[in-house]
Structure 1
Amino acid sequence: MDSTSEFSPESPLWELWNRDTLDKAKALLQSQNTPFRLENFVNGAHISESAVEYIDSVDPKTGLVFCKVPCTQPEDIDAAIHSAKAAFPAWSKTTRAERSALLRRVAELIKKHRELFAAWESIDQGKTLERARVEVDRAIANFLYFSTFILHQKTAARMIDEDAALTYEHRSPAGVFALISPWNMPLYLLTWKIAPCLAFGCTAVAKPSEVTSVTAFLLSSIFNKAGIPKGVINIVFGDGPTTGAALVTSPLISGVSFTGGTATGIAIRRATAHQIGKHLSLELGGKNPTLVFADAYRDSIEQECTVRTAAMAAFQNQGEICLCGSRIYVENTIYDQFVCDFIAHVNETFVIGRTVGAVASRAHYDKIRGYLRLAEQQGAVFKLGGVPKELGAREGYWIAPVVLTDVLPSSRVMKDEIFGPVVTISRFYSEGEAIRLANDSEYGLAAVVLTSDGARMRSVSEQLEAGMVWVNSWLQRELGTPFGGMKASGTGREGGEYSRDVFTVVRTVHLPAYW
């Protein structure tokens, strides 16, 4: 059956599913007279909401509006929540084998349409097509991982010696969840929440960022194709103040899994503080350090690996990854050589339009530009790149990689999460100073340690105030490991059993030896 046969020609899904390569998608954008409009997915159907306001979604590479995203109003959010609530009793009682098979089917369908998702992710977010393909593959992996994880769960049982009584832990699905994902890795991070939520028997209302909503719209039809029952997963669109706030504060929502900015995470925590039983998992911002020790620079092979890892951690996806290492600290004895090697590698490897995409929005472009103007005013040295131009209308949001030195430790450029293709390089003189500088941040999400000293690998990593530390590598993930940060980088962990803690409630059952 043709993949578009289930949609009417008037549906935006019909047009989108027909444009399953980047060239075809670009051709559609060039030919369209008016932007297409996304539709919410509630109770297994795509519906036009009562919202009279729509949010412009812009192609970051051109600056042109290509679709309209509904700003879903509270009354329509309430309808989506009630749909999830109605679906919960039946879904929560399905067997793990049933849920596993359905999640595997979702993964198979995304894989079948891999290029479709990658093309629209590249257009919607500004990332390169190559990077978009990587993230589609990770979305597939999310569903595959949790589809098998739930088949092999274990629980704890204990004996009480005095009377030989037995106690055991019993878990059950927690209820209806609000799943809110950011704009930097739209499909990957949305599925990182949806897959475990459904796997553990919960139902959900998911809200992607209003900046990048297209692949979530495409994903909604995958759930119907896979046979997910109506109401189990609902996807609504809109901004934070209107749509997101109504979603997370609803008393019918049992938990919130949110990835995004620290300020929004604080707002969610405040708004739900009185709902004491609500599960909260908040993965927030980061200003992550990369520590480069002299012993990682002993020969040409090590030098190449060290520079390549530090640069990849700084500039992948235009630096729009919460785990990017945007503060590089280099041991003094190799500082000058590292800076020279690093600039040469970045200049050759991270090229605008080829390996570097556009940043996600005009607002984000202006934010990054503001930080670079501040760096210039404060006397920072631009070793590579410069302050991007002030944009006019209908221009793409392109910012070339920027490498800064001589940035004041107290500068906002050093302290704030810029979240773009901007990295600072500073010196350190001892291991203790390197640790102190790395920890001198309100954030504590991730860190990178580059060293050949086996003892240092442990001694430094275990002292860093970061939820995730990579040694001589970056962004490697085993999906059972805890994902999350310390300090202002959030609360809670997700991944494997840690996701089970988010999406289930546990009770201890005590059985007497005799009755």
Structure 2
Amino acid sequence: MEREKSTHPAVMTSIEDSPVPRKISPIDEIWTNAHSLKTATTFLKDRSDSHTPLHLQNFVSGDFTPTVSSSAGSWIDSFNPKTGALFAKVPCTQPDDVEAAVQAAKAAFPAWAKTSRVERSQYLQRISDLIKLDREKFAVWESIDQGKTLERARIEVDRAVANFSYFATYILHEQTAARMIDGVALTYEHRSPAGVFALISPWNMPLYLLTWKLAPCLAFGCTAVAKPSEITSMSAFLLGRVFQEAGLPRGVINIIFGDGPTTGAALVASPLVNGVSFTGGTETGIAIRQATAAQIGKHLSLELGGKNPTLVFSDSMLPEHRDRTIRIAASAAFENQGEICLCGSRIYVEKTMYDDFVRHFTDYVAKTYVLGQTVGAVASLQHYNKIRGYLQLAAKDGATFNLGGVPAALLPPDDDDITVISNSEERGYWIPPTTLTNVPLDSLVLKDEIFGPVVTISSFQDEQEAVSLANDSEYGLAAVLLTADGARMRRVGEQLEAGMVWVNSWLVRELGTPFGGMKNSGTGREGGDSSRDVFTVVRTMHLPSF
């Protein structure tokens, strides 16, 4: 796609268009100076030398704007996970500014809701094309901001492109239902946009999971205020520029930054917000339900935590299947440093092949998942300390570390010691892939969502015990079933208490399939028709036959 010159006022005042010198905005600096990992690194080094971290800005009504409050407490430090050094400051948007963004979305809703499907489709496809055009730029900043490898970041940018492209075409071929009451009436379902949405996304896959919400929200005629995680705000910041270049009407999508207790709470509780789509921790999901309990009509879609099982049956370890089994189990455990809600962090292996699996799995992981090459840094110091705490508990519980160990303690930097970017990785949040055996069944290491490069390997005797162990969790998001027995695929798979079950595969998705979990892993589904249910309201029309 060839980029055309935008007519948006905020873009027209870029450096090359401005007739007089002016201060370069943060978005202009990033957009023009960081097209590759090399240029981004140089850009950050230059800012380090001048001790000037980036200051992100909210995107409201089509413009990047500073928040009204500018006190010291209204900024959140954002650190580079690979170095542990400060590189940006994120506004902690206060309730008044949150409400201003909601008002902007509310004002934009009537016109956007009446926009034709064809026109909405064209906007979505334009956004998809623009992200694809700047694929490397988004991947570079996603890698810097979240800690993931550049290759993993590229995959997630491609999925963001697909999100907009999918819903751009979905709304052109949408179907509805009509029914006859014989001799009395024709009934049909009529859907309309639900209104203003709060779209809150997590830090583990920032661009991919935010666009998974933004695309259907736009497609079905809703407007939104989006809030990414304060830990990983950069790709959402860049998205604002894409929306400008796409010519998206002002106020249709607004992006604000901040933490959960201040910014997120104010956004969710606003009476002008008609729905909430949230991906994140179960505790926060519970808080959202409590905060909106009195707002019965508010749509809620909550994709929460997971402690997902991988079941390995002995037939999947026969020579003709073994390589595939090991590869799938390992990727489900360690992709994106295990920081994917769908990761299979509890592996259960049929006892007859247990020792064989542990040996081959350990060798494969050691060769394939290498820290700093195919495994990135975990997202934050807080998360590093959380994972480290569980590994200390594993050692205390007598678990065997087949790979990895308890990482070194990292202390937060003193205020005087914070630098914009460091040249050393010694202070980065690096945790090597860790495989644990002999973990007691009642250990919190087996119960709690660690959300890092840590996997436990336990054994089972038969199908009944395998299903019992897999379902022995408060969560029910996903499960992986590895077997060569076709009958077992259904017999066991249909007993697993998980919203998504992968058989001899993992993380493959058709975007129309329902996405979501059972039990404490959330409520609601998204994807295709399920996303339509989230972002629209349905009324049943009755037309008399006489």
CA contact (8 A) 1:447 1:464 kept: yes
The yes-or-no answer on 1:151 pairing with 2:151 is no
Deviation per CA, 1:43-81: give whole Å up to 9, x if none.
001000023210000000000010000000000000000
Q: Distance in 2 between matches of 1:172 and 1:22?
A: 44
Once the two structures are TM-superposed, the CA of residue 480 in structure 1 deviates from its matched residue by 0.2
Matched residue, 2:56: 38
Aligned-pair distance for 1:200?
0.1
Partners of 1:302 and 1:22 lie apart in 2 by 39
Aligned to 2:30: 16
Question: How far apart are residue 7 of structure 1 and its match?
Answer: 3.1
The separation in 1 between residues aligned to 2:149 and 2:471, in whole angstroms, is 32
Aligned match for 1:210, one of 230, 239, 244 = 230
Give the alignment of 1:313-392 within 5 angstroms. Answer: 313-392=332-411
The AA in structure 1 aligned to 2:68 is: S
Distance 1:68 1:10 in 2: 17
Structure-1 residue corresponding to 2:129: 108
What is the letter of the counterpart of residue 391 of structure 2? L
| 1:207–1:244 CA contact under 8 A, matched in 2 | yes
SS at match of 1:151: coil
Give the Cα–Cα distance (whole angstroms) in 1 for the partners of residues 52 and 148 of structure 2.
24
Q: Deviations over 1:230-253 (max 9, x none)?
A: 000000000000000000000000
Deviations 1:312-332 (CA, angstroms, capped at 9, x unpaired): 000000000000000000000
1:88 and 1:14 map into 2 onto residues whose CA distance is 28
Q: What is the DSSP-based 3-state SS (H/G/I as helix, E as strand, rest coil) of the residue aligned with 2:199?
A: strand
Match of 1:127 in 2: 148
1:258 partner letter: F
Which residue in the other structure is 1:304 paired with?
323
| Superposition deviation, residue 352 in structure 1 | 0.5
The whole-number CA distance in structure 1 between the counterparts of 2:453 and 2:14 is 40
Displacement after TM superposition at 1:2 (Å): 7.9
- 8 A Cα contact 1:450 1:471, kept in partner: yes
**Counterpart for residue 58 of structure 1:** 79
- For residue 78 of structure 1, the aligned residue among 99, 113, 121 is 99
CA distance in 2, matches of 1:7, 1:269: 43
Per the alignment, residue 277 of structure 2 pairs with: 257
- Unaligned runs of at least 5 residues, structure 2: 16-22, 414-421
1:438 is matched with 470
Distance 1:2 1:297 in 2: 57
Distance 1:237 1:40 in 2: 6
Q: Which amino acid aligns with 2:135?
A: R
Q: Is the 8 A contact 1:86 1:231 kept in 2?
A: yes
Give runs of aligned pairs for residues 385-404 of structure 1, distance below 5 A: 385-392=404-411, 393=413, 395-404=427-436
Q: CA deviation at 1:170?
A: 0.2
Q: Is the 8 A contact 1:7 1:13 kept in 2?
A: no
- Say whether 1:416 aligns with 2:448: yes
- Provide the aligned length of Structure 1 versus Structure 2: 512
Give 1:14's aligned amino acid.
D
Matches within 5 A, 1:130-141: 130-141=151-162
Contact 1:19 1:28 survives alignment (8 Å): yes
Consecutive unaligned residues of structure 1, counting only runs of 5 or more, are: none
Inter-partner Cα distance in structure 2 for 1:5 and 1:129: 31
Q: Which SS does the other structure have where 2:332 is aligned?
A: helix
Instruction: Give the partner amino acid of 1:335.
Output: Y
Give 2:46's aligned amino acid: S
| 3-state secondary structure, aligned to 1:152 | coil
Write the letter of the residue equivalent to 2:145. Answer: D
Q: Which residue of 2 aligns with 1:185?
A: 205
- Cα drift, residue 6 of structure 1: 4.6
Alignment deviations for residues 322-348 of structure 1 (CA, whole Å, 9 cap, x no partner): 000000000000000100000000000
Alignment partners' CA distance in 2, 1:480 and 1:156? 18
The answer for the alignment partner of 1:7 in structure 2 is 14
Identity %: 69
* CA distance, structure 2, for counterparts of residue 5 and residue 279 of structure 1: 38
* Alignment partners' CA distance in 1, 2:530 and 2:38: 40
Matches within 5 A, 1:203-242: 203-242=223-262
Q: CA deviation at 1:164?
A: 3.4
From 400, 406, 428, the equivalent of 2:460 is 428
The corresponding residue for 2:535 is 503
SS in 2 for 1:34: coil
**Residue 134 of structure 1 aligns to a residue in which SS?**
helix
Aligned to 1:99: 120
Aligned partner (choices 461, 475, 493) of residue 525 of structure 2 = 493
| SS at structure 2 position matched to 1:505 | strand
